[in-house]
Amino acid sequence: MTKYSIKEIYYTIQGEGFYTGKPAVFCRFSGCNLWSGVEEDRVKANCDFCDTDFVGTDGIEGGKYKNPKLLVEKILSLWPSNYNPFVVLTGGEPLLQVDTMLIDEMKKYKIEIAVETNGTIIAPKGLDWICVSPKAGNKFIQNFGDEIKIIYPQKGMNPEDYEKFAFKHYSLQPMDGKLLKRNTQLTINYCKKNPKWKVSIQTHKLLGIS
């Protein structure tokens, strides 16, 4: 029987990318194929700058959901209105678990489904918004979608190399950490010189929300 390992589910405001400012239910899936999430493994991870806790199922409304219906019921219980729900499937790497059964169940309730993925797994059909955030040195097979959002700068990654791929929106997001101020200025400078790209700021951190 299908099981979904969920770190947390919560209602918030989308803080980054194209949909910045939009109310959304975030459903964070446990696990990733580029890092175990264990801090001692970070130095040898295929993605060593992740700022998200996606380990386990101990977050708000986290747990093992044994079928799509139960997971969708929980998601819907957090949406506050009759307006069509907007749900962001994120991680970790959500496409390790997101399948057509879950998508079909969500569509029964006219849920608008967005996914945030690292691009190493092809997305199933039926998603309304695909945001891909590739990581340097890793395979990139989900090379089409609605938005590409590159964490910048990354050693060995030139945003220009990704302009050939089929995306509607191109975003650069300053890498968080001790060098955030410097990285923000580098991102601004790059976008000013290359106006195909738009600066994406993690506004949820500025606002102090999840």
Q: Please report, for the chain, the start and end positions of each structural domain, with discontinuous segments joined by +.
A: 4-207
Determine the average pLDDT of the residues in 139-164: 97
pLDDT at 17 over 80: yes
> Integer distance in angstroms from the first to the last C-alpha of the chain?
32
Q: Mean pLDDT across the chain, nearest whole number?
A: 97
Is there a catalytic annotation at residue 52?
Answer: yes
48-104 pLDDT, tens digit each: 999 999 999 999 999 999 999 999 999 999 999 888 999 999 999 999 999 999 999
pLDDT at 1 over 70: no
Indicate the pairing of strand 63-65 with strand 112-117. unpaired
Is there a catalytic annotation at residue 53?
Answer: no
Is there a catalytic annotation at residue 191?
Answer: no
The single residue of 8, 61, 116, 146 carrying the catalytic annotation is: 116
Question: How much is the pLDDT for 82?
Answer: 82
- Residue 107 burial by Cβ neighbours in a 10 Å radius (0-12, 13-18, 19+): middle
Question: How much is the pLDDT for 102?
Answer: 98
DSSP letter, residue 107 = H
The single residue of 27, 50, 131, 191 carrying the catalytic annotation is: 50
Instruction: Break the chain down into helix, strand, coil percent, rounded to 5.
Output: 25, 25, 50
Is there a catalytic annotation at residue 50?
Answer: yes
Is there a catalytic annotation at residue 32?
Answer: yes
Question: How much is the pLDDT for 130?
Answer: 98
Query: What CATH fold (topology level) applies to the domain 4-207?
Result: TIM Barrel (3.20.20)
The single residue of 8, 27, 29, 32 carrying the catalytic annotation is: 32
Percent of the chain clearing pLDDT 90 (strictly above):
97
